[in-house]
Amino acid sequence: TQKKPIIISTWRHGLAANEEAWKQLKSKKPALDAIVSGVGISEADPNVQSVGYGGLPDREGKVTLDACIMDHNSDCGSVSFLQGIKHPIAVAKKVLENTPHVMLSGKGALQFALSEGFKEENLLTEKSKERWKKWLENSKYKPVINIENHDTISMLALDEAGNLSGGCTTSGAAWKMHGRVGDSPIIGAGLFLDNDVGAAAATGLGEAVIRTSGSAMVVELMRQGKTPFEACKEIVERIYNKHKNHKDMEYLQVGFIAINKQGEHAGYSIRPGFNYAVYDTIEGNRMESAASKMV
Ligand code: SD4
């Protein structure tokens, strides 16, 4: 059985993203190009209201984006609080390639994107604007669990050479404060990989993932011999226990996906409803449901 290549992505919109990334990997494109094109499908889709173009705005009605990317050499690039650029993941890759840094934020990230030839555009669609206006009527901040089943997209790939890479891109929590940055652009929180071990990525309430260095911890447990399933489960349980008496508990959802060097993969979340897309040579592209701590 041939386990490589294999691509896994969070949520149902991961299917279309996998499809594109798979094509790229199969035509011998570099893994990071596959990641950028793959998650770029979700970024450009106005019906995915949690990523890129058409993403739900912050409480001021501004769409602000977070993304990061990481390769098998542990090189990484990230942008946070970026506005007006449809493909933050592509900007994150340019940060990796063309700067001495790992993270660029806000105005500086935009300035860099423009210098790299990206075009500034309005990312707030009428549909998202309507939902924001509805929200303004009460202006209550309450994260929504499993937002319409399409959420942050995180993608992990094991290529034919056996190298790991990953990317993560999001418009973050809807109705967040202006300037809020989540876990998704933070290496170690929203995404982490070690090419000797495995890769992990998160979706859900970013604050909880940052508090616990989520993805880095999942990878560390795999280093200690845990399977992807055991590693995701243990960190989800840790997050759950840490938040038992926390004000966020009422609506807390966090999910992880993970893959190891053998191509074994898993997903695990606090609440039911989380799923992820898997593409491999044996079974093709399909959804897998994740187990959960709560029932
Ligand atoms: C964030 N983790 O900004 C992102 C949002 C998300 O599933 O993943 N939702 O907190």
Provide the pLDDT for residue 117: 98
Provide the pLDDT for residue 13: 93
Residue 48's pLDDT band, with cuts at 50, 70 and 90, is confident
d(CA 43, CA 55): 8
Does residue 203 have its Cβ closer than 6 Å to ligand 1?
yes
Query: Looking at the annotation, which residues are catalytic?
Result: 152
pLDDT tens for each residue of 220-251: 999 999 999 999 999 999 999 999 999 999 98
Res 37 pLDDT > 90? yes
pLDDT tens for each residue of 140-181: 776 666 554 458 999 999 999 999 999 999 999 999 999 999
Sort 293 into a burial class: Cβ within 10 Å, 0-12 / 13-18 / 19+: middle
Asked if this assembly's ipTM is beyond 0.95, the reply is: yes
Output the residue whose Cα is nearest ligand 1's atom 8: 203
Q: Would you say the C-alpha torsion 277, 32, 166, 99 has a positive or negative sign?
A: negative
Predicted TM-score (pTM) of the model is: 0.96
Atom of ligand 1 at shortest range from CA of 176: 3
pLDDT tens for each residue of 6-24: 999 999 999 999 999 999 9
The DSSP symbol for 290 reads P
Does residue 215 have its Cβ closer than 6 Å to ligand 1?
no
Atom of ligand 1 at shortest range from CA of 207: 10
Provide the pLDDT for residue 125: 95
Provide the pLDDT for residue 138: 85
Kindly give the distance from the C-alpha atom of residue 65 to the centroid of ligand 1, in angstroms, as a whole number.
11
Distance between first and last Cα of the chain = 34
Does residue 173 have its Cβ closer than 6 Å to ligand 1?
yes
Provide the pLDDT for residue 149: 42
Longest dimension (CA), the chain: 56
